[in-house]
Amino acid sequence: MQEKIKAVIMRGGTSKALFFHKNHLPRDPLLRDSIILSAFGSPDPFRRQIDGLGGAVSSTSKVAIISPSKDPRYDVIYFFGQVSIDRPIVDYRGNCGNISAAVGPFVIDEGLVSAEEPLTRVRIHQKNTDRLIVAEVPVLNGSYQEEGDFAIDGVPGTGGKITLHFMDPGGAITGKLLPTGKPQETMKIPGMGSIPVSIVDATHPTVYLKAKDLGLKGAEIGEIEGNEELMGRLERIRAEAAVWIGTAQTAEEASAKVQTVPRIAIVAPPMDYRAIDGREISAREIDLTARILSMGTLHRAFAATGAVCTAVAAKIEGTLVHEALRGEALDRTDIFLGHPSGIMAVGALVERRGREFFCREAITYRTARRLMEGYVYVRRRSQD
């Protein structure tokens, strides 16, 4: 016998998630997670999530749990989970910026926040990182205005422009903008030798590598995801970085249980390349070439929290990202990232006080859309 639970599928940016009201799920975390896993069809050893709503890639295997906030500083609470495809894990470390973009439209349409035309500001308590996100959401006739002329690479068509302000994003998970205390380190990786890295924690911890240190130019797509040896090396670096920043006790634990923190990104100076849709991207259009991986998969579009972290890292002198950045971009709030699907604009306000760096705010721009509302059916044994 099955049970049904009310849910909404939302696209936020270049990701999709199942949205639940917190009071529609059990209070017990183990029971809650078993229901979420069943809803997504995880774990699936064939990595297809054929028995659930998951899309068999990390960008479509996400969950958002929403509730009203009793704190007058916020309107709603948003708790994010990354649902593993082939393991019985819902990882609540960190946040997803793309799904953050769908929170404002969701809570407005669900009546959790009063709509004000033409723009409603939603104060979101991002529970995973304990940070404030302010979403500016276009509204028409009391609902999110999903129609508009704003386009983001990686999503067909256009939509209503949502501006996200990530307030004080530094140290979201580790407590430090630079978890190791330095903008650049040399890591010794067992069986691989030494490699320069930068580790930055702004909205989501990310370890950065120079493309040339991996034998890459920086604009590759298939050459990265189709190279098992390279993907193995990247995971070893990521796992060791997890130990460095304290999100795992051992590299083995990081690979088995901490698949999302940190993420790993590859950066290079601006260059010409061809996007996934065949469009030619010119070096003149971008300030940085970048690729990011999560859960062992190359993102076809740049993760939004990864983009925010990258913009912040680009403004910190001494990081590998800063070294790869087009120099004139330092005088602008927004920088333009060249990623597999095209170009993404993201802003960061970073200050230097003595030897320390601080990020007051990071900004990104997304679209969102409600795709389905109704009930998801989960196996009865999930609630036993």
Is residue 30 over pLDDT 60? yes
- At 239-252, the pLDDT tens digits run 999 999 999 999 99
Is residue 382 over pLDDT 80? no
Is residue 106 over pLDDT 80? yes
Structure tokens at 40: 């997504």
Per-residue confidence (pLDDT) for residue 192, from 0 to 100: 85
User: Computed from CA positions of residues 223, 197, 208, 329, in that sequence, does the dihedral angle turn out positive or negative?
Assistant: negative
Per-residue confidence (pLDDT) for residue 311, from 0 to 100: 97
Average pLDDT over residues 91-110: 96
The pLDDT-based confidence of 81 (bands split at 50, 70, 90) is: very high
Structure tokens at 182: 């330095």
At 376, is the secondary structure helix, strand, or coil?
strand
The pLDDT-based confidence of 381 (bands split at 50, 70, 90) is: low
Per-residue confidence (pLDDT) for residue 384, from 0 to 100: 47
d(CA 163, CA 347): 11
User: Computed from CA positions of residues 73, 7, 173, 298, in that sequence, does the dihedral angle turn out positive or negative?
Assistant: negative
- At 271-315, the pLDDT tens digits run 999 999 999 999 999 999 999 998 788 888 888 999 999 999 999
Per-residue confidence (pLDDT) for residue 133, from 0 to 100: 98
Q: Taking all residues of the chain, what is their mean pLDDT, rounded to a whole number?
A: 94
d(CA 189, CA 152): 37
Contact 104, 162 (CB under 8 A): yes
Q: Please compute Rg for the chain using Cα positions.
A: 20
CA angle 313, 319, 325 (to 5 degrees): 70
Q: Which alpha helices (H) appear in 284-325, and where do they start and end?
A: 304-314, 320-324
pTM of the model: 0.91
Residue matched to tokens 């601006």: 270
**Domains of the chain in sequence order:** 2-161+368-383 (3.10.310.10), 185-361 (3.10.310.10)
Is residue 115 over pLDDT 50? yes
- At 306-364, the pLDDT tens digits run 999 999 999 999 999 999 999 999 889 999 999 999 999 999 999 988 888 999 999 99
Per-residue confidence (pLDDT) for residue 355, from 0 to 100: 83
- CB count, 10 Å around CB of 118? 9
Per-residue confidence (pLDDT) for residue 383, from 0 to 100: 47
Contact 341, 300 (CB under 8 A): yes
Element (H, E) at 237: helix 228-245
Residue matched to tokens 């189709």: 226
| Parallel, antiparallel or unpaired: strands 368-379 and 334-339 | unpaired
- At 150-188, the pLDDT tens digits run 999 999 999 999 999 999 999 999 999 999 999 999 999
d(CA 228, CA 42): 24
- Residues 184-213, buried b or exposed e (16+ Cβ, 10 A)? bbebebeeeeebebbbbbbbbbbbbbbbee
% of the chain surpassing 70 pLDDT: 99
Average pLDDT over residues 38-67: 95
At 60, is the secondary structure helix, strand, or coil?
helix
3-state percent breakdown (helix, strand, coil) of the chain, nearest 5: 25, 40, 40
